[in-house]
Amino acid sequence: MPRYVRAKIKGSVFFFTVVLAERPSSLLVDEIDRLRQVYRTVYQRRPFETIGICVLPDHIHAVWALPEGDADFSARWSLIKSGFSRGLAPRSRSASKVNKREKGIWQRRYWEHAIRDDADLERHVDYIHFNPVKHGHVTRVVDWPHSSFHRYVERGLLAADWGGDRCDVQGAFGE
């Protein structure tokens, strides 16, 4: 079996897609307070900057900047996924997941992409913010509550009507 190798670029910026094992599901928004608490706890233990994030019912998109000299996003996602799962009832699981004591809540793997430049960063943040519209959860970006979009509006970086009802963001974003 091939061994998956992740990018290890210390102090870099990465885009992530992290997905629940059961699609469709609404677990992440149903348990948004649990997710927020675990995310804060991991951030306090292993700091990173969240440049952009959107939590959808069954997946998360995020762009993180890691501290200088640090490339260990895998440990952070592991802590977030396990912390979120702790206390939740197990889902249907394969024998492999049972043997590894996994609850079957998350897909084992996730998508990561090293951000190459400012244009790449802007494209990925736009994609994150528009994702709830893309998936039909809302008709306007501003109407989705679980997104860093609102922080961008508060800081004057984006207008509240940004994205309208369509977006021309192109690319492969790991969904």
Check residues 137 and 170 and name the one with the higher pLDDT.
137
Q: What is the pTM of this model?
A: 0.84
**Digit-coded pLDDT (tens) for 18-70:** 999 988 899 999 999 999 999 999 999 999 999 999 999 999 999 999 999 89
**Digit-coded pLDDT (tens) for 113-125:** 999 999 999 999 9
Query: Backbone phi, then psi, for 139, in 5-degree steps?
Result: -100, -15
Question: Using an 8 Å Cβ cutoff, are 58 and 19 in contact?
Answer: yes
**Rounded distance between C-alpha atoms, residue 61 and residue 126, angstroms:** 11
**Which architecture characterizes domain 13-154 according to CATH?**
2-Layer Sandwich (3.30)
C-alpha distances in angstroms, 78 versus 16, 120, 122, 154? 13, 26, 26, 31
| Helices 32-45 and 73-85: angle between axes, nearest 10 degrees | 140
Angle at 166 between CA 52 and CA 144, to 5 degrees: 45
Question: Using an 8 Å Cβ cutoff, are 15 and 173 in contact?
Answer: yes
Helical segments of 18-117, H only:
27-30, 32-45, 73-85, 95-99
**Rounded distance between C-alpha atoms, residue 13 and residue 103, angstroms:** 30
> Domain coordinates of the chain in residue numbers?
13-154
What proportion of the chain, given as a percentage, has pLDDT over 70? 79
Please give the pLDDT value at position 112. Answer: 93
Residues 147-170 have a mean pLDDT of 84
Q: DSSP secondary-structure letter at 66? A: P
Please give the pLDDT value at position 38. Answer: 97
